[in-house]
Amino acid sequence: MHRIDDSRPFIPLDIAVLTVSDTRSLEEDRSGSTLAARIGDAGHRLAGREIVTDDVDRIRAVVNRWIADPQVDVIITTGGTGFTGRDVTPEAVEPLFEKRMDGFSEVFHRISYDKIGTSTIQSRATGGVAGATYIFVLPGSPGACKDAWDGILKWQLDYRHMPCNFVEIMPRLDEHLKRGKLREA
């Protein structure tokens, strides 16, 4: 199902990770650590890593800062995708999307369903594009982060993945602004 074209070069991306939690510190952040490790293992660069509380304005401030940063290609958030009163990450991030990525949520839930069954409906994982930056909003469990990375992001963030991938269209994400942002390795 996943095919890598070894004749194409690997292009490392700059990926930022935001953990949304009222209770975690950087040292206790297993989900953020899971993503950071996988990002590095895949050959990408960790462009930033932060933790903020479950607060729309704080989440949005960090995501907006990273969207505006030309050194950040991808933003991955973890946490705050459930249904409790404090779960506000989709509300903070989705209004920033210029384009929504419905397929990300659908594929994430299919992968998740295979592992945890109907409990997957308790997540509001989502994805989109803003300011030529890919944004993925993941649940706060290490397992969900592994599923999203291993099943989707690892492949779509690899220029060698065939028949298509997110990296090859990066220069065209902001073509309406007449600038491209893909940097060759």
Helices (H), the chain: 30-41, 56-68, 89-93, 102-116, 142-148, 154-156, 170-173
Which CATH number describes the domain made up of 3-173? Answer: 3.40.980.10
pLDDT of residue 180: 45
Separation between Cα atoms, residue 34 and residue 23, nearest integer Å: 17
Structure tokens at 51: 């933790």
pLDDT of residue 179: 43
Q: Say whether pLDDT at 178 is over 50.
A: no
Residue with tokens 């295979």, as numbered in its chain: 114
Q: Is the pLDDT of residue 111 over 80?
A: yes
Split at pLDDT 50, 70, 90, the class of 131 is very high
pLDDT digits (tens, 9 = 90+) for 69-107: 999 999 999 999 999 999 999 999 999 999 999 999 999
- Contact criterion met (CB below 8 Å) for 149 and 38: yes
Domain ranges of the chain: 3-173
Query: pTM value?
Result: 0.93
Using CA of residue 143, residue 145, residue 146, residue 152, what is the dihedral sign? positive
Q: Which of 36-45, 127-136, 148-157, 168-177 has the lowest mean pLDDT?
A: 168-177
Residue among 25, 80, 68 at smallest CA distance from 49: 25
Nearest CA to 82 out of 116, 41, 125 is that of: 125
* pLDDT at 1 > cutoff 80: no
Given the structure tokens 């209004």, which residue do they identify?
A: 95
